[in-house]
Structure 1
Amino acid sequence: MTVYVDDMHAVPMGEFRGMKMSHMIADTEAELHAMAASIGVQRRWYQGDHYDIALSKRALAIRAGAVPVPLRVLARMAMNRRRGRPLGTPEEAAAALGETVQLSMPLGAFDRAIAAASSKLQRDRFVREVQARWPGAEVITVRDGR
């Protein structure tokens, strides 16, 4: 199960009353509401299949494990659900749009975990967890800031 946030804040339509906004959706409604509650977004802001969240809440969601995706990709995923189909993955949505998508994880829980992994065994375990969650993900570890 995954929560996704888009980059609508980067385009003019992503501004509302001076705030930069993004959409947040999830594989399940329960997961979406749980994430909203964990980042301090009130249930009354639920839009029927997504939340519109401020840039500050987007950052909190990403730190809590949400996956950032491009606006067009998230829109395609939401359209799948509105048509009665599964949400799908960002890669499937991008392929349907004739695009490719490269997901990156910003500084957050995984980055802190790998930074804290002091032994090769801990780093290897972390890499396996990331690859299990995101099949095909390439994980690059860096030592001593190099």
Structure 2
Amino acid sequence: MTVYVDNYRCPATVGRLTGRWSHLTADTPTELNAFAARLGLRRAWFQARCRYASCPAPDGVCVHYHYDVVDSMRTRALAAGAVSIDIHGFGALIASRRAALRPAGEVTR
């Protein structure tokens, strides 16, 4: 299993925290939450509810599951073993998760 952190670095203010935000994700939600706990991220920050009607969400966990992290936490995640990917790599992970949940033989556009 692998944990990934992308290079999105979108500038935003969330609450009182202003920074450049990236996505921390993993091959499974369980692995992601364990890794995030080791980094000191709160479980309440886990994002797993889908906003898209076209996204399958078995067991209530959307294929877009991730934590948003600022640059300092991104650096800590990389030092702890996360793999750096670009934003397109993050999109490819989401697409492969979605494809794995489609019924066999279903055609996509």
Is 2:94 aligned against 1:78? yes
- Specify every segment of 5 or more residues in structure 2 that has no aligned partner in the other structure, as ranges: 49-64, 102-109
TM-score (norm 1): 0.52
Is 2:29 aligned against 1:29? yes
Determine helix, strand or coil for the equivalent of 1:41. Answer: coil
Structure of higher CA gyration radius: 1
Is 2:8 aligned against 1:8? yes
Identity of aligned residues (%): 40
Q: Distance in 1 between matches of 2:69 and 2:80?
A: 14
Q: Report the number of matched residues.
A: 81
Instruction: Extract structure 1 runs of 4+ deviating beyond 2 A.
Output: none
Is 2:39 aligned against 1:39? yes
Determine helix, strand or coil for the equivalent of 2:100. Answer: coil
Q: Distance in 2 between matches of 1:84 and 1:52?
A: 23
- Specify every segment of 5 or more residues in structure 1 that has no aligned partner in the other structure, as ranges: 87-146
TM-score (norm 2): 0.69
What corresponds to 2:58 in structure 1?
Answer: none
More helix by share: 1
Report the aligned-residue RMSD.
1.4
Q: Distance in 2 between matches of 1:64 and 1:76?
A: 23
